[in-house]
Chains A and B, each alone.
Chain A
Amino acid sequence: MIRLSFLDSDAAIVAAIRAGDGQGGAALYDRHHGYVRRVLLRVLGPDAELHDLIQDVFVAAIDSIERLSEPNALRSWLAAISVHCARAELRRRGRARWFPLFPRSELPEVEAPVATPEIGEAMRATYHVLGKLGPDERIPFALRFIEGMELVELAAACEISLATAKRRLLRARKKFVTIAETYPALSDWLARGAR
């Protein structure tokens, strides 16, 4: 069993990783895995591959740690890597859907570890609708409306300009509302908007 040495700041963690101290990798995970998990969950929804993607994010972060210019910005940098991984995963699944050699039954399952019927419907419907949006629309939508990110934070996480973030959000909103009309579980929310 690995037990951590105490690394008490992001800067110390980054310095440890750059120096090849393995405990830096463990401390990075301990301090930020909750946040990375949340960003990925918001974008992808409950997902069987979430755990692997979290590992992918941390591996990518360790491999490219030299590119982090401001160690105190580690958390927002991890958000950007998480978004990058989520986008790559969404694109991979998009290709899989169009490619006939992938049997439908073998496409990644969506599973909610503790979802219960009473809490599941709106979430399932929302992610079903988001599944019909492209990654460039889905990701800003999820980060803005589900995670509650500020626009500046969102733009940084998506590595796009503020204007592009606004444009994509507007497009995503229009598409989401149009598609959501066909989902009974979301009709209450739409009806509220109409009132």
Chain B
Amino acid sequence: MSADELRELGAHIAEQQAPLLEAASLAADGGSDVTRRRLVERVQRRSGGTARGTSGNTAARSRTRTWLALAAGVASTLLALGQWLRGSDEALRFTVGDERGVLSALEAAPADSDLLLRFSDGSLVELAAGARARVASLHADGADIVLESGRARVDVVPRRGAQRAHWQIRSGPFSVQVKGTSFWLSWDAAADALSLELLRGHVRVSGCNLGEGREVRAGERLAASCPRSEAAAAPATPPAVLAPGAAAPGQAAPSVAEPLELRRSAASAARRSQARSSQPRPLSRRQETWQELAQQGDFRGAYALVASRGWDAELAQSPRADLLLLGQAARVTGHVSEAQRAYVAVRRRFAGSAAAARAAFSLGLLAFDATPSEAIEWLETYLAEQPAGALAEAALDRLLEASLRLREPAPRRQIAERYLEQYAAGPHAAEARRIIAGSRATE
């Protein structure tokens, strides 16, 4: 296999990774505030002379691991290493705002601001305005938290090596098992309705009509409700975006007014009852349109729905906004050729519109990793049609980056000059200057 053929294989892999990067970027755009906050604090601690903190000190972790790995060959150190592998036996601690947290105390965010629960392993639970929660128990590798009502952003730091974090977030009869991930969780106590939006990693949600539990992965949302009545087969509060597997009759959601221990017993009894239920029946699922699924972030579901009904009709009839959404659903789920068809349909049916220019930009992104020359053509098309458009800077950014992948230096320099003319302080300005300097040197 020659270098060119390896590059071809590599370009194929890069093309396959494009939707992963896109999905990760979407998740980061939607939920990177915790990361930003940590980095802000890191810079501030650094200026205070305490940069060598406990979280994320890669070099320190790396040195520790190296020593431990060397020691692994010596029998006498196996015990100590095993202890390291188990991690500290000390239970986590937490603060609420600036104060030390108290187990089982009800914490309520004010009506007009968030409340941050910060754990000693770096994990965070951010209660949105008006939300209420309590930390039921703490252990060395996690905590048990009850979200009484409202919305919370949960960001659990995964443990490294052989240890796994064990966090549980409970809301009414539902329980979310967490290893290390980020998500939004809402609990509507009045309607007994749970809503979970996963930003990163995966969790398992169990309880009530979810039976043994349901895996939820990054980018997916779960909406579930627990019927108070006997009519489990026809839940009173649809929808369940990810269809719950089964419903067991006779499960009443515990009241939020009940004491904590009582609620635990009720949930436990409900689970036992669930386990005894031998013939679960599927819940009826409200028929959602593919547009609704895509807007909720369920691109796989949206894509599957369109695929089952046939693409041609959608491409021929859908309005421009739907076609762009369809292209996005196909792109994010890795169906490159279908995404291209959707965007090309926008350009054909709505030629000259802003949507057509937007489709050109998206076609440029699709081609970006695998065929940079094609990406350049589409991005140039966008810039020609929308020179002052909202995506103009992003298009020129991408144009410059794509040009770096070309073998011929000529277009690279020309694009770099255009870039600097318009965005002298842009994120790629330094590279643009290097390109120009490099091409001058070879002249």
B-binding residues in A (CB < 8 A): 1-2, 4, 8-10, 16-17, 19-26, 28-34, 37-38, 41-42, 46, 48-52, 54-56, 58-60, 62-63, 72-75, 85, 88, 92, 95-96, 99, 101-103, 106, 111-116, 118-120, 122-123, 126, 144-148, 150, 173, 176-177, 180, 186, 189-190, 192-193
CA distance A39 to B22 in the complex (A): 14
Interface contact tally, CB-CB below 8 A: 217
Neighbour of A99 across the interface among B56, B72, B200, B332, CB < 8 A? B72
- Chain A residue numbers with a CB within 8 Å of B37 are 2, 26
CA distance A48 to B162 in the complex (A): 14
Interface pick from B10-18, B90-98, B133-141, B349-357? B10-18
CA distance A20 to B41 in the complex (A): 10
Contacting pair A34 B25 (CB below 8 A): yes
Neighbour of B158 across the interface among A19, A52, A103, CB < 8 A? A52
Contacting pair A148 B430 (CB below 8 A): no
Contacting pair B43 A62 (CB below 8 A): yes
Sample of 6 A–B contacts (CB below 8 Å): A21-B43, A22-B44, A25-B43, A58-B35, A75-B431, A96-B161
Neighbour of B162 across the interface among A1, A4, A75, A102, CB < 8 A? A102
- Most B CB atoms within 10 A — which of A30, A85, A102, A144? A30
Residue B6 at the A interface, CB < 8 A?
A: yes
B contact face: mostly helix, strand, loop, or mixed? helix
Neighbour of A190 across the interface among B1, B62, B202, CB < 8 A? B1
Closest B residue to A38 by CB, please name it: B21
CA distance A4 to B217 in the complex (A): 29
- Chain A residue numbers with a CB within 8 Å of B114 are 1
Neighbour of A111 across the interface among B62, B157, B202, CB < 8 A? B202
A-binding residues in B (CB < 8 A): 1-3, 5-14, 16-17, 19-21, 23-25, 27-28, 32-33, 35-44, 46-48, 51-52, 55-59, 62, 65, 69, 72, 78, 81-82, 85, 114, 157-158, 160-162, 164, 180, 200-202, 217-219, 299-300, 332-335, 404-405, 425, 427, 429-431, 433
CA distance A90 to B72 in the complex (A): 18
Neighbour of B33 across the interface among A2, A17, A41, A95, CB < 8 A? A2
Contacting pair B69 A95 (CB below 8 A): yes
CA distance A111 to B374 in the complex (A): 30
Contacting pair B20 A115 (CB below 8 A): yes
Contacting pair A122 B82 (CB below 8 A): no
- Chain A residue numbers with a CB within 8 Å of B218 are 113
Contacting pair A114 B300 (CB below 8 A): yes
- Chain A residue numbers with a CB within 8 Å of B299 are 114
- Most A CB atoms within 10 A — which of B46, B72, B431? B46
Neighbour of A192 across the interface among B5, B46, B47, B425, CB < 8 A? B5
CA distance A150 to B401 in the complex (A): 13
Contacting pair A95 B65 (CB below 8 A): yes
CA distance A187 to B25 in the complex (A): 32
CA distance A24 to B47 in the complex (A): 12
Neighbour of B58 across the interface among A21, A38, A85, A150, CB < 8 A? A85
Nearest CB of A to B337, in Å: 10
**Given that A49-B158, A59-B57, A122-B13 are known contacts, is A20 also in contact with B38, CB under 8 Å in the complex?**
no
Nearest CB of B to A92, in Å: 6
Nearest CB of B to A85, in Å: 6
Contacting pair A56 B25 (CB below 8 A): no
Contacting pair B40 A25 (CB below 8 A): yes
Contacting pair A22 B41 (CB below 8 A): yes
Nearest CB of A to B162, in Å: 5
User: Which 3 A-B pairs have CB atoms at the shortest separation, nearest pair first?
Assistant: A20-B47, A25-B39, A145-B10
Neighbour of B17 across the interface among A32, A41, A103, A190, CB < 8 A? A41
Contacting pair B219 A20 (CB below 8 A): no
Neighbour of A59 across the interface among B19, B42, B430, CB < 8 A? B42
Contacting pair B16 A101 (CB below 8 A): no
Neighbour of B20 across the interface among A95, A113, A145, CB < 8 A? A113
Closest A residue to B78 by CB, please name it: A101
**Given that A49-B158, A85-B58, A190-B1 are known contacts, is A115 also in contact with B35, CB under 8 Å in the complex?**
no
- Chain A residue numbers with a CB within 8 Å of B81 are 101
Contacting pair A126 B23 (CB below 8 A): no
- Chain A residue numbers with a CB within 8 Å of B3 are 145, 173
Neighbour of B23 across the interface among A16, A51, A114, A122, CB < 8 A? A114
Contacting pair A41 B334 (CB below 8 A): no
Nearest CB of B to A33, in Å: 6
**Given that A41-B20, A113-B20 are known contacts, is A28 also in contact with B46, CB under 8 Å in the complex?**
no
Nearest CB of B to A66, in Å: 10
